[in-house]
Structure 1
Amino acid sequence: MTPASRPAAAVTLPIGSDADLAWVRQQVRQTAAGLGFGLVQQTKLVTAASELARNTLVHGGGGHAEITPLDSGHARGLKLSFADSGPGIRDLDLAMTDGYTTGGGLGLGLSGAKRLVHELTVDTEPGRGTTVTVVAWAVAVPPARPEPG
């Protein structure tokens, strides 16, 4: 991989309004497309990002998203982190259950996002806020073949 083809650096975006949610979705889609994610993969990532960004705004009182391109050498991926300093999640196991909601929605935010990505981690503590991080990988990049010699 040449230096020019390396993924860009992380980008941090504020989440404080509905307009910010749209901006996060747009940036996630553009970054994923640039990393070689297919349309279905992009849609899954944008859907997960939308759910998590909305949770950051509605339940955490706002915060920020960090979009980080990844390159393992054999695959390109995207790490998305959503952080707030809100009330935290009192019962994470319950919050990860399909159908559980504190906001009157369908209760598919965290559990739904988890099904759309390869990895999801939650760092939370009541009174300290929450950071949700997801990772998704695009199709693997084949390793370089040795030159015949």
Structure 2
Amino acid sequence: MTSILTVQQVRINEEIDIVHVRQAVREVAVSIGFSLVEQTKLVTAASELARNTRVHGHGGEARIELEKADDGTTTLRLVFSDKGPGIADVDLALTDGYSSAGGLGLGLSGARRLADEFDLRTAPGEGTTVSVGFRARKPARR
């Protein structure tokens, strides 16, 4: 049986809230032993998804969760949700270089590449929820 613990929730309404999400994600990643490279991936994905939540979803929230499996593995999961307009064409939105807001177009596709798990749920007029999971790597035995 898998247990899920919500460690922190961060509202995303203002530009500064993106910084708060980044800081919260880094703190949790450090606390459970993610390497510097893994922390960078986590914070990068969190930053992109928080920005999407604010800009495209007109605000929402981020949840930072720890998921512990029976086999002893831990997954740090980031869940971003909004009640914005939703994504009309998911395939297009996941294409590298596509941007509906004039950015680099690497937010969703970049987060998907960085994460071990990626899930996107959206419907026009009903908002979007994006979940990314990063499995903690067990240290090598010596």
Q: TM-score, normalised by structure 2?
A: 0.91
Alignment counterpart, residue 137 of structure 2, candidates 111, 133, 139: 139
Alignment counterpart, residue 79 of structure 1, candidates 58, 67, 77: 77
**Alpha-carbon offset, residue 140 of structure 1:** 2.8
CA RMSD of aligned residues (A): 1.8
Count of matched residue positions in the alignment of Structure 1 and Structure 2: 137
Q: Deviations over 1:2-51 (max 9, x none)?
A: xxxxx964321100011111010000000011111111000000000000
Point out 4+ residue stretches in structure 1 off by more than 4 angstroms. none
The question of whether the paired residues in 1 share the 8 Å contact of 2:118 and 2:130 is answered with yes
Provide the residue aligned with 1:92 in structure 2. Answer: 90
Q: TM-score, normalised by structure 1?
A: 0.87
Provide the residue aligned with 1:104 in structure 2. Answer: 102
Distance between the aligned counterparts of 1:91 and 1:140, measured in 2? 38
The one-letter code sitting in structure 1 at the alignment partner of 2:56 is H
**Alpha-carbon offset, residue 97 of structure 1:** 0.5
The one-letter code sitting in structure 2 at the alignment partner of 1:82 is F
Provide the residue aligned with 1:58 in structure 2. Answer: 55
Structure 2, unaligned runs of 5 or more: none
**Alpha-carbon offset, residue 69 of structure 1:** 1.3
Percentage of pairs with the same residue: 53
The question of whether the paired residues in 1 share the 8 Å contact of 2:6 and 2:63 is answered with no
2:8 is the counterpart of 1:22:
no
**Alpha-carbon offset, residue 138 of structure 1:** 1.2
The question of whether the paired residues in 2 share the 8 Å contact of 1:75 and 1:141 is answered with no
2:44 is the counterpart of 1:42:
no
The question of whether the paired residues in 2 share the 8 Å contact of 1:16 and 1:57 is answered with yes
Distance between the aligned counterparts of 2:5 and 2:84, measured in 1? 30
Alignment counterpart, residue 126 of structure 2, candidates 104, 110, 128: 128
Distance between the aligned counterparts of 1:9 and 1:98, measured in 2? 31
Q: Kindly name which structure, 1 or 2, has the bigger radius of gyration based on alpha carbons.
A: 1
